[in-house]
Structure 1
Amino acid sequence: MAKPGLGEFLDVKISDGQFSNDDVITVRRYIYGDMHVTLEEGAGLFRLNTAGLAMPQTWFELFPEAIGDILVHQANPQGYVSDENAHWLIGQITANGQVCSRTELDAVLHVLEKARQAPRFLEQFALKIVADSVISGQGATRSGATLTPGVILDAEVEILRRVLYAGAGCGGIAISKAEAEILFDLNDATSESDNAPAWSELFAKAVANYLMALSGFASPPREVALAREDWINSPGGFDGGISGFFKSMFGGGVSGVRDAYSDQPDPFAAKGAAMAAGIAVNELVTEDEAQWLVDRIGRDGVLHENEKALLRFIRQESPDIHPALKPLMEKVI
């Protein structure tokens, strides 16, 4: 008798209403037996994940790993998430109309953190998921705890940090205007709440990152990467020292970003020095950026504490303050 396929096996387990650690091992063998995970198999994993079964801890390790392998490690070129695959991932998460679970969010984060490059809209999708969960209080964690509506806790700050600085997941580390808008919306919605102190710092640095036009290592576009696999796979390539780079970047504000680029070893030394010089120029907030900030801060007519922290950060790091910002700066001690 032929061995049932993965889809049949999952159907039986969902019908039984039980899923054990041994079943996780069986699913892993199905998926990695031929060292290739298909989109069809990935869809089956999402179906199982949303079936409402009590899952063992090992499932929460397998699920994001498998989704990451589908979209990142088995991509061509390896490490580059296509628009099509990113839309597939979002479609799987939104298909049942339910709030994105923590397990599904972990899969998105896994993809972003492992990818050399991914569509910007996938990062924005993850950021919006976290923001909506904070505001609504919906979206239980794996431990069964629930979010407190309208309050940003340390756990949410850390997830937001992971999304915003998810490696090279979107071809760079610069915060986009769309992401800055999401952060402002979240800040407005939680301005009267007892948020974690770390939120104020993350908000200020992330929005300042957008305003000062900071940008990171730009991964080659897909069509270029197809002809440069040797460079990508070289021992001294993109991944060398990347964790230390991001630690230095985030811990030191704008000056930390500049220093992080300057400290990069070959083959990025020349590029790092040039990038650092460019950042020094881009620390100046432009007229368009200043007007955006004035309009955004004044949207609800209140200058919130986190917005004051942002203005202080800009005052400290920017070599010159745009005249449009000076009335706001005068309100900040």
Structure 2
Amino acid sequence: MAKPDLNEFVTARIASGNVGDDDVVTLRRFIYGDMAVSLDEGAALFRLNDAELTYADTWYELFPEAVADILVNQARPEGYVSDENAAWLIAQIEADGHVCSRTELDAVLHVLEKAREAPESLEQFALKAVSASVISGKGATRAGNELKPGVISDGEVEILRRVLYAGSGCGGVAISKAEAEILFDLNDATIEAENAPAWSELFSKAVANHLMAMSGFTPPSRDVALAREDWLNQPGGYERGLGGFFRKMISGGVSGIRDSYAVSDPFTARGASMEAEIAANETVSEDEASWLVERIGRDGVLHENEKALLRFIREESPNIHPALQPLMDKAV
């Protein structure tokens, strides 16, 4: 059971309709006084958050911090979020029947960013929460009358980027198929909207990362692969894009290590093998081509973001699978 005094305090704050700065200080004393945060104490915080009161700014610092401490810093082994704890967090967020709020999304992101490893289900939950907020016009990303349902703003692109960055803590360096599917669903749902230009860039780079990540070799980290840069609209943009980075990364890395190790013959051979492996895996496979054709053709229309993705693949992939050629011919 949670400490009775904490539950009584939470009940009193809910009755008052307000959580002030002094209340947040008191909450910190309740929670951290014994140098440990329990799941029951976390549940009490969610009850306070779900009440939709007037909160001091410091509440928005305490809430995600405490949730991350429960699930990451006090986990055993430390830093590893278990399936059970991830399920607990999702259940707490869904308990009130509302779309994930921004405060709750911040808590999920704190957990993902601080964790050494977390279930992919938690990151997918965050992606879906952002997508639902965009489409419905309320929830995790919505603040301000200037935002419209079904339209992706610049701020929401950056939240999506942050969620995808955080996913590297789930043990996934490259974008997974499940993540790419969620991004495709969001793209389909907002295709007629006047989305922020940054959405086209993020969508294309993320899906390309999924398709072109190399098997048998660790691709670049997500913060590099998904860094914000206007590469779709720059001269030579594709060469500066994800596939070009793969080649340059390995080329520069190999030569740098070769210099360090005085160019030993075994290492030279390994470097040549790595470069050949990269070239082979930049080719979109039959399974990948079939998935992409099915996914792009789901609504029967080839949209601008999908054309940008196909142009990227055409520039970066040494061999285009025949199944993609009809789509490539339309991506002008």
**Residue 60 and residue 328 in structure 1: after superposition, are their counterparts in 2 closer, same or farther (change >3 A)?**
same
For residues 288-327 of structure 1, what are the structure 2 equivalents within 5 Å? 288-327=287-326
Identity of aligned residues (%): 68
Q: How far apart, CA to CA, are the structure 2 residues paired with 1:200 and 1:142? A: 20
Alignment CA distance shift 1:147-1:310 (3 Å): same
Is the CA contact (8 Å cut-off) linking 1:157 and 1:202 kept in structure 2? Answer: yes
- Give distance in 1, aligned partners of 2:226 and 2:248: 11
CA distance 1:109–1:293, shift in 2 (3 Å): same
Q: Report the counterpart of residue 91 of structure 2 in structure 1.
A: 91
Alpha-carbon deviation of 1:41? 0.4
Distance 1:6 1:32 in 2: 12
Per-residue CA distance 1:71-129 (angstroms, 9 max, x = gap): 11111111111000000000000011011110001111111111111101111110000
Distance 1:73 1:217 in 2: 30
| Separation in 2, partners of 1:318, 1:56 | 52
SS, match of residue 299 in structure 1:
helix
- Residue 226 of structure 2 is matched in structure 1 by 250
Partner letter of residue 128 of structure 1?
K
Supply the distance in 2 between the matched residues of 1:295 and 1:116 (Cα, whole angstroms).
Answer: 35
Check the 8 A contact 1:139/1:147 in 2, yes or no: no
> Which moved further from structure 2: 141-150 or 40-49?
141-150
- Distance across 2 between alignment mates of 1:108 and 1:324: 39
Amino acid at match of 1:250: L
CA distance in 1, matches of 2:321, 2:142: 46
Q: Given the superposition, is the C-alpha separation of residues 260 and 72 from structure 1 closer, same or farther in structure 2, using an over 3 Å criterion?
A: farther
Partner of residue 104, structure 1:
104
Aligned equivalents of 2:223, 2:79: Cα separation in 1: 22
Residue of structure 2 in register with 1:44 after alignment: 44
**Matched residues in 2 for 1:177 and 1:299: separation?**
16
- In structure 1, the residue matched to 2:79 is 79
Gap change, CA 1:191 and 1:77, over 3 Å in 2: same
Sort the Cα spacing of 1:31 and 1:254 in 2 relative to 1 into closer, same or farther, 3 A: farther
> 1:157 offset after TM fit, Å?
0.5
- What does 1:256-295 align with in structure 2 at a 5 Å threshold? 256-257=245-246, 259=248, 278-295=277-294
Deviation at 1:248, TM superposition (A): 3.1
Letter aligned with residue 314 of structure 2? R
Partner Cα separation in structure 1 for residue 165 and residue 278 of structure 2? 18
Letter in 1 for 2:243: V
1:156-199 Cα deviation digits (max 9, x unpaired): 10111111121632112222212111111111111111000010
- CA deviations 1:230-251 (Å, max 9, x no partner) are xxxxxxxxxxxxxx95543334
1:54-203 equivalences in 2 (<5 Å):
54-139=54-139, 147-166=147-166, 168-203=168-203
The answer (yes or no) to whether the contact 1:150–1:193 under 8 Å persists in 2 is yes
Residue type of the alignment partner of 1:171 = G
Aligned-partner Cα distance in 2 for 1:87–1:16: 31
Which structure would you say has the larger Rg? Answer: 2
Contact 1:250/1:256, CA 8 A, preserved across alignment: no
Partner AA of 2:94 in structure 1: T
Compute the displacement of 1:279 (Å). 4.5
**Superposition deviation, residue 200 in structure 1:** 0.4
The 8 Å contact of residues 140 and 147 in structure 1, kept in 2 or not, is answered as no
Show the counterpart of 1:222: none
* Structure 1 CA distance for aligned equivalents of residues 194 and 139 of structure 2: 20
Is the CA contact (8 Å cut-off) linking 2:180 and 2:210 kept in structure 1? yes
Aligned partner of residue 37 in structure 1, secondary structure:
coil
After superposition, residues 10-29 of structure 1 pair within 5 angstroms as 10-29=10-29
Change (3 A) 1:299 1:65: same
Contact 1:283 1:317 in 2 (8 A): yes
| Structure 1 residues 20 and 260: alpha-carbon distance in aligned structure 2, compared to 1, 3 A threshold | farther
Shift of 1:24: 0.5
CA deviation vs aligned residue, 1:211-259 (integer Å, no higher than 9, x gap): 12457998xxxxxxxxxxxxxxxxxxxxxxxxx9554333442333565
Pick closer, same or farther for the CA change 1:107–1:215 going to 2, 3 Å.
farther
**Aligned partners of 1:198, 1:20: CA distance in 2, in Å?**
37
1 CA distance for matches of 2:156 and 2:215? 24
Q: Counterpart in 1 of 2:234?
A: none
Aligned residue pairs, count = 302
Gaps in structure 2 of 5+ consecutive residues: 228-240, 262-266
Gap change, CA 1:332 and 1:4, over 3 Å in 2: closer
Aligned equivalents of 1:104 and 1:96: distance in 2? 12
